Structure 1
Amino acid sequence: MANSNDDTRKANQRDHEYEGNPLLAGISSHYITFASPEEAHKETYLSRAQQVKRYLTADITTRWADLVLIVCFALSGLIDSGAYNAYECFTSMMANPNAQTGNTIFAALGVSNLPVSVPRYAWTKSVCSIVAFLLGALLTSNFHRVFGERKRWVLAASFAVQAAMIAISAHLVQLGRSSGSPVKDPSLTGFPADPGFPWLDLVPISMLSFQAAGKVVASRVLQYNALPSVVLTTLYNDLMSDPGLLTGGLTGNVGRNRRLGGLLFYVGGAVAGGAFVRSSAGFSGLLWTAAALKLVVILAWLLWREEAEQEDGEDA
């Protein structure tokens, strides 16, 4: 009887040792579980899809994100200088110290057919730019608000729309469907002939103004108030009003450095835009370059560290 109890105890101990060991699972059918290759592949696929979803829906950290916004200042200067040269209106709130304020004045004067030196209906460009910018700000801000202000995919999608609109504008200019740079052929009297108002110019003007609003919204959701994207007048004022403008060394005044960096990058982009327009690449080449640089910004958002990683590093 004692031997029987010992045998039973040893058998139970042996089965316990086999539990969870896939190499010995065949010893005890109680612990055998089989999964078909299709089910195993499905589980692996779902696991990877969940990882990708989690990665794309994570909030990015705002740390060092000001560097991307400063690059956006350069892109604004690049696009705005070329657009004003081509269409004689502003396409961005960052385009000029007065930007959409200037467009508002142009539109108001257009009611009285002023200034007399500009073509008839020229005011419609300014109106179109204002409406497109307002619509871009409305839709982009609500897009961020609904789907997540700082989620990776939301920021990437917003800038992807901006890149697409710039690329479409570049295509129209390249095909000659948009004026690019206004040129009037001489008439028989030797004076420039009136080619009529280029209504198709309103398409790229609208697209460039719409996408410009996305950069303004990005500066707000990333909470970098030291980089005001509304008008450069604010940036000039905040920079010169900073009590630590001449103190703090090179790295001791971060707000001053951001404002100064944004200003310098904007001016540099505007100078580059003028050089582009005068070169063989022209306005279309300028826009294609801007669209390509937007893709670099999209890649930056997709690779940016998430907020949780920053917090873990600070806790450590």
Structure 2
Amino acid sequence: MDSDLENTHPPEKPRGWVATLGRDVDLAFADVPLLASCFVSGVCESITLTAASVFVSMQTGNTLYLALGAAQIPVDQPLLWLRCLASMSSFWAGCLVFSHGARLLGPRRKLSLSLSFALQSALVCAAAALSQSGVVPTFAQRLLGDQTPADRAAVVLRRENDAMVVVPIVLLAFQFGGQIVASRSLGFNEVPTNVLTSVYCDLLSDPKILAPPRENPKRNRRVAAVLLLAAGGLTGGFLQRSAAGMSAALWVAAAVKMGIAVAWLPWKVKEEEPQGEKR
């Protein structure tokens, strides 16, 4: 009996990426998905600024617009403050919900990160569907390069009288709360993914700004964040000028987010410390 017990081996742990979903991701190259998120921020902001004159990820501008709204400025957009408030409150809610979800599942676990970005993608898809269907006309614009001043004035008037315009704003702002939570959870504070003011300051005040690429990875990330956010804005702008329109830009943003969600699944996991070495 004793020999049988001695020869009994513990069952082997299941192998494969499915078995590692509950493990923390290895942080090597984990900044790449966050840098891709900077591109998404640029795309979405280019759409909402044109369609609704509000931000959905950079909330500093919305805070100022809200303050100006109290003084009834600008006079031709009396409801701008309301759209800004919708964006801000949705962003706050997104930060709250995604941060609690991350703590519940584990902020750096593969499953947690994948679910977070999958949900973000779904919300952008919903906004893109509203844009493509024409349910929210100001988010369904295309060929903007051909608009006359009269056409633009008509768009502004329609926007001020359309309550549905806040729906895509709410969807996009909420998911951007999840995006910045992921950035903070992974510890890449130099890539906030949605604002560049602090990035510019940190970049230009870096004493090693001219160091070789391998010697200053934080500088590299900051530069990449600036370039990718600008590239996203440029992409969104050109798509708005094309026949594809705003909806195409939002579908591109949703596809990038879903690509990030899928990429987390087979991601290399952090090596566990051997039991004997833990203190």
Superposed CA deviations along residues 166-189 of structure 1, whole A, max 9, x for unmatched, are: 0001111111111216799969xx
Partner of 1:174: 132
Question: If the length of structure 1 is used for normalisation, what is the TM-score?
Answer: 0.75
With 139-148 and 227-236 compared, the bigger mean Cα shift is at 227-236
Amino acid of the structure 2 residue aligned with 1:106: Y
Larger radius of gyration: 1
Identify the match of residue 71 of structure 2 among 102, 112, 129.
112
Question: If the length of structure 2 is used for normalisation, what is the TM-score?
Answer: 0.84
Shift of 1:152: 0.9
Superposed CA deviations along residues 131-187 of structure 1, whole A, max 9, x for unmatched, are: 000000011011101111111111111111100100001111111111216799969
Shift of 1:112: 3.0
Shift of 1:235: 0.2
Distance 1:86 1:181, change over 3 A: farther
Shift of 1:229: 3.7
Partner of 1:280: 243
Q: Distance in 2 between matches of 1:219 and 1:138?
A: 14
Amino acid of the structure 1 residue aligned with 2:85: V
Is 1:265 aligned with 2:224? Answer: no
Q: Given that residues 156 and 298 in structure 1 are in contact (C-alpha distance below 8 angstroms), is that contact kept between their aligned partners in structure 2?
A: yes
Partner of 1:146: 104
With 191-200 and 80-89 compared, the bigger mean Cα shift is at 191-200
Partner of 1:245: 209
Q: Given that residues 106 and 126 in structure 1 are in contact (C-alpha distance below 8 angstroms), is that contact kept between their aligned partners in structure 2?
A: yes
Identify the match of residue 20 of structure 2 among 38, 52, 55.
55
Is 1:291 aligned with 2:254? Answer: yes
Is 1:101 aligned with 2:101? Answer: no
Q: Distance in 2 between matches of 1:244 and 1:185?
A: 48
Superposed CA deviations along residues 27-63 of structure 1, whole A, max 9, x for unmatched, are: xxxxxxxxxxxxxxxxxxxx86x97763211111111
Amino acid of the structure 2 residue aligned with 1:83: T
Identity level (%): 36
Amino acid of the structure 1 residue aligned with 2:258: L
Amino acid of the structure 2 residue aligned with 1:123: W
Shift of 1:76: 0.8
Partner of 2:83: 125
Unaligned ranges ≥5, structure 1: 1-15, 20-46, 94-99
Shift of 1:211: 0.6
Partner of 2:186: 222
Q: After the TM superposition, which residues 69-108 of structure 1 pair with which residues of structure 2 at under 5 Å, given as runs?
A: 69-93=34-58, 100-108=59-67
Q: CA RMSD in A?
A: 2.8
Q: How many residue pairs are counted as aligned between the two chains? A: 257
The ranges of structure 1 where at least 4 consecutive aligned residues each deviate by more than 3 angstroms after the TM superposition are: 50-54, 181-187, 191-196
Is 1:306 aligned with 2:265? Answer: no
Q: Distance in 2 between matches of 1:166 and 1:138?
A: 18
Distance 1:85 1:185, change over 3 A: closer
Shift of 1:254: 1.1
Partner of 2:277: none
Q: Given that residues 87 and 181 in structure 1 are in contact (C-alpha distance below 8 angstroms), is that contact kept between their aligned partners in structure 2?
A: no
Amino acid of the structure 2 residue aligned with 1:103: N
Q: Quick one: higher RCO (CA 8 Å, sep 6+), 1 or 2?
A: 2
Identify the match of residue 195 of structure 2 among 231, 235, 240.
231
Residue 59 of structure 1: SS of its match in structure 2? Answer: coil
Residue 57 of structure 1: SS of its match in structure 2? Answer: coil
Amino acid of the structure 2 residue aligned with 1:148: G
Q: Distance in 2 between matches of 1:138 and 1:169?
A: 21
Amino acid of the structure 2 residue aligned with 1:124: L
Q: Given that residues 41 and 193 in structure 2 are in contact (C-alpha distance below 8 angstroms), is that contact kept between their aligned partners in structure 1?
A: no
Distance 1:234 1:185, change over 3 A: closer
Distance 1:192 1:172, change over 3 A: closer
Superposed CA deviations along residues 45-103 of structure 1, whole A, max 9, x for unmatched, are: xx86x97763211111111101111111111111111121111100002xxxxxx1211
